[in-house]
């Protein structure tokens, strides 16, 4: 039965897997926050996360989540290599690729204007990615704020599960940028909201 689920899982393209992960993260934040308004891939001027959740019916803290499931570098010449050559190449290149990828998303998250910031990754790669992220620093340079990490467990046809493995700490948000974000929030209709 598990083989069938794995076969179906592998048939999902990266866009569908990403969309399912967005739903899993939105569900996690819906359960974690008090009366959240959740935006899926919002088009705010200053915010472009995969998931944006605003606590307290849209008047509370901002929680921004970037989801990165595909961390394996594309190797277009794999067919011309033997399995052993590909494995050795992958073993040598993968840590370099991950470090560069994590550095890019670390910078992006540190610049995000949200009170709580998370990177969501596949559960299978969390140890390597968390180590790379920790090397760059989870904390804001001024010590106010820590990046959170969410692990996504893909489960075949079932909805993936999202779990916070490193809890975030509150960042400062620049007041003038918060004004622009609040204008967006006043006009935008959330994709998910708790009815009171």
Confidence of residue 71 (pLDDT cuts 50, 70, 90): low
Per-residue pLDDT of 23-56, as tens digits, reads 999 999 999 998 899 999 987 777 789 999 999 8
Per-residue pLDDT of 81-92, as tens digits, reads 455 554 454 455
- For 144-155, what is the mean pLDDT? 93
Domain membership flag for residue 96: yes
What is the domain range of residue 20?
2-191
Phi-psi region of 12 (alpha: psi -120 to 50; beta: other; left: phi over 0): beta
We report the CATH number of the domain holding residue 49 as: 3.40.1350
Per-residue pLDDT of 92-121, as tens digits, reads 555 555 667 778 888 888 888 999 999 998
Domain membership flag for residue 52: yes
Q: Which of 24, 47, 63 is nearest to 161 (CA)?
A: 24
Total-model pTM: 0.79
Indicate if the pLDDT at residue 3 is higher than 70: no
Higher pLDDT, 91 or 141: 141
The pLDDT assigned to 33 comes to: 93
Task: Say how many domains are in the chain.
Answer: 1
Task: For tokens 């959170």, name the residue.
Answer: 148
The pLDDT assigned to 84 comes to: 56
Residues 33, 169: Cα–Cα separation, whole Å: 14
Indicate if the pLDDT at residue 4 is higher than 50: no
Domain membership flag for residue 90: yes
Domain membership flag for residue 84: yes
Domain membership flag for residue 196: no
The pLDDT assigned to 166 comes to: 93
Confidence of residue 167 (pLDDT cuts 50, 70, 90): very high
The pLDDT assigned to 88 comes to: 52
The pLDDT assigned to 80 comes to: 52
CB burial readout 34-53, b (16+ within 10 A) else e: ebbbbbbebebeebebbbbb
Using N-to-C axis directions, what is the helix angle for 83-111 and 126-136, rounded to 10°?
50
- For 132-154, what is the mean pLDDT? 89
Domain membership flag for residue 185: yes
Domain membership flag for residue 117: yes
Domain membership flag for residue 89: yes
The pLDDT assigned to 185 comes to: 86
DSSP labels, 90-154: HHHHHHHHHHHHHHHHHHHHHHS--SEEEEEEEGGGHHHHHHHHHHH-SB-TTS--B-EEEEEEE
The strand pairing partners of 53, in sequence order, are 38, 63
């Amino acid at each position: 039965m598990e083989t069938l689920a794995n076969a179906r899982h592998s048939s999902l393209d990266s866009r569908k897997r990403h969309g399912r992960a967005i739903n899993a993260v939105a569900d996690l934040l819906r359960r974690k926050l008090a009366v959240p308004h959740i935006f899926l891939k919002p088009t705010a001027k200053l915010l472009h996360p995969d998931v944006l959740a605003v606590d307290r019916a849209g008047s509370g803290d901002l929680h921004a989540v970037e989801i990165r499931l595909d961390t394996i570098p594309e190797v277009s010449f794999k067919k011309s290599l033997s399995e052993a050559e590909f494995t050795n190449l992958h073993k040598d290149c993968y840590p370099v690729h991950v470090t560069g990828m994590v550095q890019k998303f670390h910078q992006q998250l540190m610049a995000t204007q949200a009170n709580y910031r998370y990177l969501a990754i596949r559960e299978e790669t969390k140890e390597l990615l968390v180590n790379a992220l920790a090397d760059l620093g989870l904390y804001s340079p001024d010590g106010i704020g820590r990046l959170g990490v969410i692990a996504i467990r893909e489960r075949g046809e079932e909805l993936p599960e999202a779990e916070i493995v490193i809890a975030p700490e509150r960042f400062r948000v620049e007041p003038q940028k918060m004004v622009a974000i609040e204008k967006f929030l006043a006009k935008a209709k959330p994709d998910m909201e708790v009815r009171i």
